[in-house]
Structure 1
Amino acid sequence: MTDRTAPPAPVRFDRRFLLPLLVAATLNPMNSAMLATALVPIGRAFPRQDAIAAWLIATLYLTAAVAQPVLGGVADKLGARRTLLGGMGFLATGAMLGAIAFEPWSLIAARALIGFGTAVGFPCAVVMIRQRSETLGVEPPARLLGLLSMASSASMAVGPPLGGVLTGFLGWRWVFLINLPLAIVTAALAIWLSPADDRARRDRRARFDLPGITLFTLAMTALMLVLMNLAGGIHLGGLAAALLLTTALVVVERRVREPFIDVRLIIANRALAGTYAHHVLLNFLLYCLFYAIPQWAQAWLHLPIEQSGLVLLPVAVSSSLASLAPTRGVRGRAMEMAGLLSLIATSGGLFLLGGATTLAGLMLLTFLFGIGNGALNMVNQQRMLDHAPPDRGGTAAGLLRTAQYCGAILSAPFTAYLLGGHLGAEPMKALGLTLLPIAALMLLLTLRRWSLA
């Protein structure tokens, strides 16, 4: 009788393992998006605080931009599950503070706590996936990171309708308070389903570039202050401070062994630098649209808050469809061109918006906007993977996320300036005058890159 050895069972990352990771990864984009429909009633609650909307938007992104790389190191050092549970504690604290905040500073502090708490999701998920792969002796399945990305995109698109329902029926404070049950559920799932931290795997050598983190935070804050005060003209002192801090950041980061912003990698790799610049422009454009459209629909079309959130629902559909398209070869170029043309069409369509605009017309515009969002984010992610050195993939991916946050942070004061009445009675036309040249520039840069390939 011949002995037969059964083939090894296929290695799987089961649903029990994935569920808490997917939930945790959705918290940051969902929180960034839920606020879009609550900004108008928050502005009414704090009528003498013109810049509160911009600070509420930018605070979460600035906190997350700084916290995500740091928390990745913390997860390596202390354990991913422990770090995730700690983040849920910060999230719950921010939720409760936002529910009782009666001063602008306390509301902004609540937003910072929420940004810090939700920033743990993605880095902890990556660490857990990597450790599970090492345990099973396999490469991390690419589809898992794709699932995390898709879950993030879907939650961001669902955020405005959810925020609209919460704000319309329960009040704007529920955009903060909803995070309390979300934090409890996420923590319970992590305790129940996530693997316990293996002490032997902890990286005690994890280091944090505190000078780089500090200079980046100060530089972005200085630039934010300049942009927030555009109504009174450009503040030359603030602009000089932002430039000086940025220069200091570049000088310091070139000398640090494990930098927060890997300036050496960016300088040495022009293709990668171009990808990051393209990503900053893309996300500035996308977040301007994302925050401006619901506010404009409430203030100028007088849509109820819960309906204004539905305006961005088509983004979920078109973004998801576009993100499934190929990103390489002839078909990849065709999809990239479709994404760029959709942004040009969306920016041009802003000139047509007015008091007679229907909800259906506005949703058609956001459907176009979603094509560019889904296609170009995936294209930039693929370009980053193609151009990053094999041993620097994690660093390159972190910089791509930092570029995304920079675009989002810069969009916040501009959107607040625009909708604050500083550019006349038709702010969407003024937005179109800004975004159309940016979309055209992105198209020209892409055509030039193709001609040199």
Structure 2
Amino acid sequence: MKFTVKSGGADPRWILVSLSLSMLLSSLGTSIANVGLPTLAQALNTSFQAVQWVVIAYLLAITTSIIALGRLGDRLGRRRLLLAGIALFTLASALCALAPNIGLLFAARIVQGLGAAVMMAMTMALVGETLGKDNTGRAMGMLGTMSAIGTALGPSLGGALIFGFGWRAMFLINLPVGLLAFILAYRYLPTPAQAPQKERARFDYPGTLLLGLTLASYALSMTLGRGDFGWLNLLLLLGAALGIGLFIWLENGTASPLIHLTLFRQPGLSAGLMMSLLVMAVMMTTLVVGPFYLTHGLGLAVAQAGLAMSTGPITAAVVGVPAGRLVDKLGAQKMTAVGLVILATGAGVMSMMSIRQGILGYVAPLCVITLGYALFQVANNTALLKDASPERRGLISGMINLSRNLGLITGASAMGALFMFASNTADINAAGAAAVTAGMRFTYGAAALLALAALGIALGGRALMARYSAD
């Protein structure tokens, strides 16, 4: 893979390696903890519902902070902030491993999530800054591959570490990887020729706080209650809606807003973020429905189900780099549409599968779905960041990651509720194979409709962008 470096004279291959390690760490931080939840509940003498917040706290920290951190990178320098994020993530991983109780583990995971948010936002923003527009697609493909590897590797690596060394090892493993990522980033990421231009106006602290509270309210409304949408969920959702209105009012009246709302007048940006949200809601279907269908519908053991589900991330890891090359060669807009067509086709085929097709009837469409997702993700991220102005790359990168997280959170709630509804049971663990299969087919049918909606946005967005450019 040949790259031409944009600035600094550093080896572009090592630049990409350092950025890829940061992306690997952030994705590994999410997936490795899931497999350890039962062990944590026993070791820390707490309920399973309580330890679920070990995962939720990490995701909440990322969701509520990533926009502000992306904006901060634009102001203070992305290389400097990335190094700080890697250091923070690594230190927080050590604190997680040393935590004597569930409360301190929650606190350490929040700090770890802040470090992960920095790494997610800065790695994507630094692609265009250090490698140039011509290499953006291939670099995004590599970052997507590392994210998929981290997601696929997390459960198996976490299980092996817990079995061999105890639950603290699944956090300690981040220390040597984090140290290596810091050394490589410090050594190979080029220092900007000029110091970042600091705006005279103050950083938008009120807007940052309000947006964080609004996103936290929305995320909590979607995750509290273990699938039961009660009064507290409704109040939190209404609070989020009120927060959005207040945020828009506040940003329109401040001299240095956190987000310039005029950005959303660009049809390409608005369409790209909405498509990302819809596609991530579709991908959450594989995580919500997959375990229940494979174990309750097909009767697989948990280990077998985990192996079957890992084919999705493995597919994404394999096709990530080739997808990036296709995007650079054929164009981001065209490949976005192609990816969405493949994604919708895979979900549609999955909605017609039954127990008679066995495990192949689930794995084959899952690979098609993941192939479409990998193509879409690389193309959409490339389109959004390739032509972004240098002073706003961090902000746009943060907005991309925010839309993905909101899609995951929304999908977990909405797709989970659809699955329960279509399975026609109050306790999914007691549901029979026929009920689970009916729920699977209905939910994937809805996922196909979401993918088609994203395709409609992609095609409509192209028409709007043509008109926008003509004007």
TM-score bracket for this pair, using the shorter chain length: 0.7 to 0.9
Distance 1:449 1:198 in 2: 35
- After the TM superposition, which of the residue ranges 145-154 and 110-119 deviates more from structure 2? 145-154
Alignment-derived partner of residue 344 in structure 1: 348
Distance 2:124 2:266 in 1: 25
- After the TM superposition, which of the residue ranges 388-397 and 68-77 deviates more from structure 2? 388-397
Alignment-derived partner of residue 231 in structure 1: 228
Distance 1:344 1:286 in 2: 13
Q: How do 1:342-381 and structure 2 match up within 5 A?
A: 342-346=346-350, 349=353, 352=354, 358=359, 363-381=363-381
- Of the candidates 59, 62, 76, which is equivalent to residue 60 of structure 2? 62
Gaps of 5+ in 1: 1-10
Gaps of 5+ in 2: 1-8, 464-471
What CA RMSD, in Å, does the superposition of the two structures yield over aligned residues? Answer: 4.2
TM-fit CA distance, 1:292: 5.7
1:259–1:292: structure 2 CA closer, same or farther, 3 Å change rule?
Answer: farther
The superposition leaves residues 376-433 of structure 1 with CA deviations (integer Å, 9 ceiling, x where unpaired) of 32343355469979996664443222211211233455688889x9553346754654
- After the TM superposition, which of the residue ranges 302-311 and 157-166 deviates more from structure 2? 302-311
1:428–1:372: structure 2 CA closer, same or farther, 3 Å change rule?
Answer: farther
Structure 1 position 402 matched with structure 2 position 402: yes
Distance 1:375 1:403 in 2: 17
1:335–1:73: structure 2 CA closer, same or farther, 3 Å change rule?
Answer: closer
**Matched position secondary structure for 1:231:** coil
Alignment-derived partner of residue 119 in structure 1: 117
Kindly indicate whether the alpha-carbon contact (under 8 Å) linking 2:31 and 2:155 is maintained by their aligned counterparts in 1.
Answer: yes
The superposition leaves residues 43-65 of structure 1 with CA deviations (integer Å, 9 ceiling, x where unpaired) of 56565352542x33333233223
Distance 1:329 1:41 in 2: 45
Kindly indicate whether the alpha-carbon contact (under 8 Å) linking 2:64 and 2:215 is maintained by their aligned counterparts in 1.
Answer: no
Alignment-derived partner of residue 35 in structure 1: 33
1:23–1:108: structure 2 CA closer, same or farther, 3 Å change rule?
Answer: same
How many residues align? The count is: 432
TM-fit CA distance, 1:374: 0.9
Alignment-derived partner of residue 108 in structure 2: 110
- After the TM superposition, which of the residue ranges 391-400 and 437-446 deviates more from structure 2? 391-400
Structure 1 position 205 matched with structure 2 position 221: no
- Counterpart amino acid of 2:244? T
- Counterpart amino acid of 1:370? T
Alignment-derived partner of residue 4 in structure 2: none
Alignment-derived partner of residue 240 in structure 1: 238
Alignment-derived partner of residue 451 in structure 2: 442
- Counterpart amino acid of 2:404? Q
TM-fit CA distance, 1:283: 0.9
- Counterpart amino acid of 1:231? D
Q: How do 1:142-157 and structure 2 match up within 5 A?
A: 142=136, 143-157=138-152
- Of the candidates 261, 276, 281, which is equivalent to residue 279 of structure 1? 276
- Of the candidates 162, 174, 191, which is equivalent to residue 169 of structure 2? 174
1:161–1:309: structure 2 CA closer, same or farther, 3 Å change rule?
Answer: farther
Distance 1:200 1:270 in 2: 32
The superposition leaves residues 152-206 of structure 1 with CA deviations (integer Å, 9 ceiling, x where unpaired) of 34433333333343344444443322212222222233344445x5695243338
Distance 1:388 1:78 in 2: 18
1:231–1:278: structure 2 CA closer, same or farther, 3 Å change rule?
Answer: same
**Matched position secondary structure for 2:228:** helix
1:51–1:130: structure 2 CA closer, same or farther, 3 Å change rule?
Answer: same
Distance 2:12 2:142 in 1: 13
The superposition leaves residues 92-135 of structure 1 with CA deviations (integer Å, 9 ceiling, x where unpaired) of 332223224354333322222222222333444466666657xx
Distance 1:415 1:35 in 2: 22
- Of the candidates 309, 312, 321, which is equivalent to residue 311 of structure 1? 309
**Matched position secondary structure for 1:119:** helix
1:295–1:166: structure 2 CA closer, same or farther, 3 Å change rule?
Answer: farther
- After the TM superposition, which of the residue ranges 384-393 and 335-344 deviates more from structure 2? 384-393
Structure 1 position 93 matched with structure 2 position 91: yes
- Counterpart amino acid of 1:345? V
1:316–1:253: structure 2 CA closer, same or farther, 3 Å change rule?
Answer: farther
Kindly indicate whether the alpha-carbon contact (under 8 Å) linking 2:339 and 2:371 is maintained by their aligned counterparts in 1.
Answer: no
Distance 1:294 1:24 in 2: 29
Distance 2:369 2:74 in 1: 37
Kindly indicate whether the alpha-carbon contact (under 8 Å) linking 1:76 and 1:202 is maintained by their aligned counterparts in 2.
Answer: yes
Distance 1:321 1:160 in 2: 21
- Counterpart amino acid of 1:290? L
1:188–1:334: structure 2 CA closer, same or farther, 3 Å change rule?
Answer: closer
Structure 1 position 190 matched with structure 2 position 185: yes
Alignment-derived partner of residue 22 in structure 1: 20
Distance 1:234 1:141 in 2: 49
Alignment-derived partner of residue 286 in structure 2: 289
Kindly indicate whether the alpha-carbon contact (under 8 Å) linking 2:282 and 2:450 is maintained by their aligned counterparts in 1.
Answer: no
TM-fit CA distance, 1:246: 2.4
Kindly indicate whether the alpha-carbon contact (under 8 Å) linking 1:96 and 1:176 is maintained by their aligned counterparts in 2.
Answer: yes
TM-fit CA distance, 1:298: 7.5
Distance 2:122 2:358 in 1: 44
Distance 1:353 1:292 in 2: 14
TM-fit CA distance, 1:281: 1.8
Distance 2:306 2:352 in 1: 21
Kindly indicate whether the alpha-carbon contact (under 8 Å) linking 1:28 and 1:118 is maintained by their aligned counterparts in 2.
Answer: yes
Q: TM-score, normalised by structure 2?
A: 0.74
TM-fit CA distance, 1:367: 1.9
- Counterpart amino acid of 1:241? G
1:371–1:298: structure 2 CA closer, same or farther, 3 Å change rule?
Answer: same
Q: TM-score, normalised by structure 1?
A: 0.76
Distance 1:97 1:297 in 2: 36
- Counterpart amino acid of 2:176? P
Distance 2:416 2:38 in 1: 11
Percent of residue pairs identical: 21
Kindly indicate whether the alpha-carbon contact (under 8 Å) linking 2:338 and 2:372 is maintained by their aligned counterparts in 1.
Answer: no
The superposition leaves residues 318-353 of structure 1 with CA deviations (integer Å, 9 ceiling, x where unpaired) of 56427355555777644431122113334555xx46
- Counterpart amino acid of 1:443? L
Alignment-derived partner of residue 249 in structure 1: 247
